Amino acid sequence: MTYSKLATVSALALAVTGAATTSQAEDLTLCWAAWDPANALVELSKEFETESGHTMNFEFVPWPNFADRMLNELNSGGKLCDLLIGDSQWIGGGAENGHYVKLNDFFADEGISMDDFAPATVYAYSTWPKGTENYYALPAMGDANAWFYRKDWFAREDIRAAFLEATGRELAEPKNQLELLEIAQFFQGREIDGKTVYGAAIFTERGSEGITMGVTGALYTWGFKYENTPGSYDMPGAVNSPEAVEALEFYKEFYETATPPGYTNSYMGESLDAFKSGQVAMAMNWFAFFPGLYADPNTGGDKIDFFVNPPQNVPASTLGGQGISVISYSDKQDAALEYVKWFAQPTVQAKWWELGGYSAHNSVLNDPGFADSQPFAGDFLEAMANVQDFWQEPTYAELLLAMQKRVHDYVVADQGTAQEALDKLIEDWTETFEDEGKL
Amino acid sequence: MSDRTIDRVAAATPAPVARKIKGLSDRAIAWIFVGPTIFLLLAVNIFPLIWTIRLSFTNFRANRINRETEWIGLRNYERILTDLDIWLNMQATAHFLIWTIVLQVLIGFTLAYLINKNFRGSPFWTTVIVLPMMLSPAVVGNFWKFLYQPQIGLFNYIVSFFTGKDPSSFEMLGQVNLAPWSIVIVDTWMWTPFVMLICLAGLRSIPDYIYEAAEIDRASKLRQFFTITIPMVLPFLMLAVLFRGIENFKMFDLVVQLTGGGPGSTTELTSINLKREAFEKWRTGYASAYAIILFVTVFGLASIYVKALNKVKER
């Protein structure tokens, strides 16, 4: 055998071995929260399994324990997850603590452009430091906090007449936060079909993030800002502005005058239960649940409708949603990146939306038929245009828990004033940023 | 040949082993036996304690291991001891601890006294009474949450039946003035049987002849109760108080299930707060100082209490 033949055979053998290595079937584990969209993702991922030969396993954790469970996993360098659909606020910690793989080179090599995704989702779910072109996740699930209501009750003549008499205006979807409260108060304690119903289910949960996600829905619409100048950590005057105080007082009034009794520690699950059991006229929750709500045989279909978080001084919604990241401790990063590449395809994104996931891909969102594809699709587009998120700092958990405590102390436990709650919140946050050397 | 045990053991020892240990003193052999236990104790208890003390003087964060750790002296201790919110957590813990112990001792002793009368069906009732403590705290927390529900909860309806108040007019878990009592009630319901069992053991350990002698001396039942029953059950009662005190000082699962520490921070006991600092905020240095303060408090109180218990037993 000549040298050239030998070299050719060797090269072929190497190529075959290499090909065999890259196409080796892997068992991938994707971690996420246990909720409706996760089931849709299981369905969607079957296509990936067929195409790639990899097997997908899923680790879904209920929302109240999701952050605890996953952040412990990341902080201990655990290898449970190869892919993680982590909350937007984790991006800072994920990037700075080395939990997430930086995806810039991968995106460049595979021709994945962040310009193909909605800018708000790229900013919130993918970048760290914020707004820079350093990507640690691909936008996976767009989401925001919004409202749904009993369309059948709103349409009843006797209720409409009573509302007109009580308020002097027609009963319709609220155009601002004050109208929202007025409608909720109108329904509070009202007898409908022989049953006492209540105004609205809002978020009041203490342990994880519930009340913060609820109260920011009001704060943002009053014009709340975390800093006077973005990136300066200069909080006095912004966090405790007169508008913020007014918004917090509004949320407390909402809690006290328009929610069901015993609604002191409630989040997503309780909101859904309250609505589906016919206890409330309206409820706040994440868009992610809306397909399931619409499909509900008792309170869905023509009995339900949806509206975006009403503006007050400005239009705004609390951001939910997550990006998908590759975990740096995974031994199967190549296969995990294959999944990301597959997931980023416009055809897969279209199917994702079809199955109940909220795609953030422009090809889906900008499709002329998108707004009419579901009764809540138009609201989703409107909400995503004005979303705001909580701090995404590496110390976000500390910042979040401080807000949970201060807000719950004021709203639910009725301790102190709104001004005091926000002043104390600034003290807590200042201490955190001082410890971090950012102040 | 001698039939002493030591000689039999020596004869049974294989020759290679006997050669190796030949010349070892009794003290050395004793060390060989206790060595593994001491090593485990040092590795599992003492080393983590010393490590925690060391961490408590730093700003270490377990989720930021790449960050430089600074020695900050007593700053963590100063922050904890001057933090008003932590003192409120301590107050909540003290309220929970004192009232659960008082109620459990009173009810537990009363039940034990009644069960000790050996009435018809007393074994059945003993089994029924001890059932709650066999349940998981998570399960107990969840179903009491339903019992306390203002619209459908049985507890509110029972209160309403006796007081005439509207069941949905009060929220056991949601009102600042009621929530601390709600967790006391549940813990008392769950753990009174434990105190009862210990008291029952104490009551059954009192010999009948003492009561017979007292009756011969024409001591009244009340006199017998205060001069025989109470003093002889007291060491058992104090032991029950010690167990329940230590358990309730670190109470976590039941309260987290019931209230999550709320409303606001009304039922945020120190253990809940400590868990949040250590494993949610990841302020490891700060949480270590917090844990040391709690450890010293419990250790100090328990030491005083054990001394008192020993004195009672000596009487």
pLDDT averaged per 10 residues in sequence order, chain B, 315 residues: 70 77 80 94 94 96 84 95 94 96 96 89 90 93 92 91 89 93 97 96 94 94 94 93 93 92 92 93 94 93 90 78
Partner-chain contact A401 B280, CB within 8 Å = yes
The residue of chain A nearest to residue B174, with distances taken between CA atoms, is A264
A204 and A214 Cβ atoms separated by less than 8 Å:
yes
In a domain, A44, yes or no: yes
pLDDT digits (tens, 9 = 90+) for A99-114: 999 999 999 999 999 9
* Whole-number pLDDT of residue A21: 43
A173 and A192 fall within a common domain: yes
A256 and A310 fall within a common domain: yes
In a domain, A10, yes or no: no
Q: Round to whole Å and give the CA distance between A319 and A120.
A: 9
Q: Round to whole Å and give the CA distance between A26 and A53.
A: 8
Residue A437 has pLDDT above 70, yes or no: yes
The residue of chain B nearest to residue A68, with distances taken between CA atoms, is B280
Degrees (nearest 5) of the Cα angle A390, B179, A406?
Answer: 25
* Pick among B281, B283, B284 to test the A interface (most A CBs inside 10 A): B281
Q: Round to whole Å and give the CA distance between B86 and B88.
A: 5
A372 and A425 fall within a common domain: no
B58 - beta bridge partners?
Answer: B71
* Whole-number pLDDT of residue A396: 86
CA-based radius of gyration for chain A: 24
A400 and A209 Cβ atoms separated by less than 8 Å:
yes
Q: Which range is least confidently modeled, A194-198, A271-275, A388-392, B271-275?
A: A388-392
* Whole-number pLDDT of residue A335: 96
A49 and A178 fall within a common domain: no
Partner-chain contact B266 A98, CB within 8 Å = no
State the average pLDDT for chain A: 92
A260 and A200 Cβ atoms separated by less than 8 Å:
no
A183 and A287 fall within a common domain: yes
What would the mean pLDDT of A53-77 be, rounded to a whole number? 91
Longest Cα–Cα distance of chain B, Å, equals 89
Distance in Å, alpha carbon of A378 to nearest chain B alpha carbon = 36
Residue A54 has pLDDT above 60, yes or no: yes
A60 and A151 fall within a common domain: no
Residue A214's nearest CA partner among A311, A273, A146, A120 is: A146
Q: Which residues of B touch A264 (CB under 8 A)?
A: 171, 173-174, 262-263
Encoding tokens for residue A261?
A: 């009794």
Assigned fold of B75-314: MetI-like fold (1.10.3720)
Q: Does A362 touch chain B (CB under 8 A)?
A: no
- How far, rounded to the nearest angstrom, does the alpha carbon of residue A29 sit from its chain's CA centroid? 21
Q: In which domain, by residue range, is A197 found?
A: 145-318+395-435
Partner-chain contact B174 A97, CB within 8 Å = no
What is the amino acid identity at position A23?
Answer: S
- How far, rounded to the nearest angstrom, does the alpha carbon of residue B135 sit from its chain's CA centroid? 16
* Whole-number pLDDT of residue A19: 43
- For tokens 């328009």, the residue is A258
Q: Round to whole Å and give the CA distance between A94 and A70.
A: 11
Q: Which range is least confidently modeled, A174-183, A330-339, B38-47, B160-169?
A: B160-169
> Pairing relation of β-strands A195-201 and A138-141?
unpaired
Instruction: Categorize the per-residue pLDDT at A15 as very low, low, confident or very high, splitting at 50, 70 and 90.
Output: very low
B244 and B195 Cβ atoms separated by less than 8 Å:
yes
- For tokens 């996993």, the residue is A73
| Residues with Cβ within 8 Å of residue A233, at least 6 apart in sequence | A227, A433, A438, A439
Distance in Å, alpha carbon of B263 to nearest chain A alpha carbon = 5
**CATH no. for residue A172?**
3.40.190.10
A258 and A162 fall within a common domain: yes
In a domain, A5, yes or no: no
A370 and A257 fall within a common domain: no
Q: Does A423 touch chain B (CB under 8 A)?
A: no
Q: Which of A388, A411, A426 is the last residue of a domain?
A: A388
Partner-chain contact A206 B262, CB within 8 Å = yes
* Whole-number pLDDT of residue A16: 43
Encoding tokens for residue A280?
A: 């409330």
B234 and B196 Cβ atoms separated by less than 8 Å:
no
In a domain, A16, yes or no: no
- How far, rounded to the nearest angstrom, does the alpha carbon of residue A158 sit from its chain's CA centroid? 37
Domain ranges of chain B: 5-55, 75-314
A75 and B63 Cβ atoms separated by less than 8 Å:
yes
A432 and A239 Cβ atoms separated by less than 8 Å:
no
B96-116: string of b/e by CB count within 10 Å (b at 16+)?
bbebbbebbbebbbebbbebb
Q: Round to whole Å and give the CA distance between B263 and B273.
A: 14
Nearest by CB to residue B171, choosing from A261, A414, A415, is A261
Task: Return the half-sphere exposure (C-beta side, CA atoms, 13 A cut-off) of residue B239.
Answer: 15
Q: Give all strands (DSSP E) within B54-129, no chain letters.
A: none
Three-state DSSP at A85 gives strand
**Which 8-state DSSP code applies to residue B67?**
S
Q: Round to whole Å and give the CA distance between A276 and A348.
A: 32
Instruction: Categorize the per-residue pLDDT at A23 as very low, low, confident or very high, splitting at 50, 70 and 90.
Output: low
A86 and A193 fall within a common domain: no
> Pairing relation of β-strands A145-150 and A304-308?
antiparallel
What would the mean pLDDT of A406-416 be, rounded to a whole number? 95
* Whole-number pLDDT of residue B226: 94
* Whole-number pLDDT of residue A20: 41
A51 and A124 fall within a common domain: yes
A314 and A326 fall within a common domain: no
pLDDT digits (tens, 9 = 90+) for A358-377: 999 999 999 999 999 999 99
The residue of chain A nearest to residue B278, with distances taken between CA atoms, is A398
A75 and A53 Cβ atoms separated by less than 8 Å:
no
* Pick among A248, A264, A430 to test the B interface (most B CBs inside 10 A): A264
Q: Round to whole Å and give the CA distance between A315 and A220.
A: 8
Q: Round to whole Å and give the CA distance between A223 and A372.
A: 30
Q: Which burial class, exposed, middle or buried, applies to A262 when counting CB atoms under 10 A from its CB (0-12, 13-18, 19+)?
A: buried
Indicate the number of domains in chain A: 2
* Pick among B58, B59, B60, B61 to test the A interface (most A CBs inside 10 A): B61
A149 and A101 fall within a common domain: no
